[in-house]
Amino acid sequence: MNQTAEQEWLPPGQRETKEFHRFGLTWLAARYPYETKRIAVELAGDVAAALELGALWDSLPRVEQISNFHCVTSWSVRDLRWSGVRFNEFYEKVVADKVRPEPDATLVVFIGQDGYRNALPLEDLLAADVLLADRLDGEPLSVEHGAPLRLVAPAHYGYKNVKHLSRIEFRREAKRHHRIPGPIFMSHPRGRVALQERGRGLPGWVYRLLYRPLIGITVWAFRQGTAYHRRNEKAEKRR
Ligand SMILES: Nc1nc2c(c(=O)[nH]1)N[C@H]1C(S)=C(S)[C@@H](COP(=O)(O)O)O[C@H]1N2
Ligand SMILES: [Mo]
């Protein structure tokens, strides 16, 4: 097949969208984080010393990275400019040094302020392009895109890129740590884009066909959620 330069960056089964929408599980569209300015992430699980990543965050070395973003429903956005701290740097300087997970606690569970959650193997998170990001395009993360802190794992589908982080757990492998706020067939234990690990149980292309018709309504639902949130914010301020 003759591919144009435009298409080359697209992984299997993905299509480009120009706009980066607020997106996710439709039934979470009306949920919003309660703290969008201050980074306060509990580091816990099967560890020696649970700890809050608060002031420590500012002591970590920062990087900027341009990467593409791939949602499991088949839309992809190109060239997002994130900045934050590399996960491997955070792991070495904070987790391994201070939190000290059990040697077999190699499953990392990310939990958002909106109740969203998903897990990834530590091995996948130590890749050089995985970030804890607090900025996008030179600005602090907007509430749409994960304020105050989110995971950015470009080789993994969007649903692994948990927003509004409130808690990170280092766990021994167990089925219950893989639960998500939805049916488990929607979450592959690894979720690698290049391998079309879109979900568990069914082949990748089946998910693509199921999900593609739902993109429009999901974008709409999240827009409604955002508008509702903004109205409430304004009303709060007036009070
Ligand atoms: N906290 C939280 N993180 C989340 C979600 C969510 O609903 N809540 N949705 C996931 C999904 S399915 C996708 S595609 C991306 C969307 O990121 P965006 O809203 O910045 O486009 O966030 C992921 N992380
Ligand atoms: Mo997604």
User: pLDDT tens for residues 24-78?
Assistant: 999 999 999 999 999 999 999 999 999 999 989 999 999 999 999 999 999 999 9
- Could you report the per-residue pLDDT of 174-186, keeping only the tens digit for each? 999 999 999 999 9
Query: Vertex 174, ends 44 and 116: CA angle to 5°?
Result: 60
Q: Provide the token pair at 130.
A: 């995985």
- Ligand 1 close to Cβ of residue 39 (< 6 A): no
Where helices occur in 99-203 by DSSP H, the ranges are 122-125
- pLDDT given at position 28: 94
Q: How far is the CA of 54 from the centre of ligand 2 (A)?
A: 28
Q: Provide the token pair at 40.
A: 């306060």
* Distance, CA of 19 to chain centre: 18
Rounded distance between C-alpha atoms, residue 3 and residue 173, angstroms = 41
- pLDDT given at position 120: 98
- Ligand 1 close to Cβ of residue 148 (< 6 A): no
Best mutation site among 163, 166, 214 for ligand 1 pocket (most ligand atoms within 8 Å of CB)? 163
Nearest residue to 53 (alpha-carbon basis) of 101, 100, 90: 90
Residue nearest to atom 16 of ligand 1 (CA): 23
- Over residues 142-150, the mean pLDDT reads 97
DSSP 188: -
DSSP 58: G
What is the number of other CB atoms lying within 10 angstroms of the CB of residue 68? Answer: 17
Residue 157 burial by CB count (10 A; 0-12/13-18/19+): exposed, middle or buried?
A: buried
The predicted model scores a pTM of 0.96
Q: Are 131 and 89 in contact (CB under 8 A)?
A: no
Q: How far is the CA of 128 from the centre of ligand 1 (A)?
A: 21
- Ligand 1 close to Cβ of residue 112 (< 6 A): yes
What is the number of other CB atoms lying within 10 angstroms of the CB of residue 42? Answer: 16
- Over residues 121-140, the mean pLDDT reads 98
- Over residues 84-96, the mean pLDDT reads 98
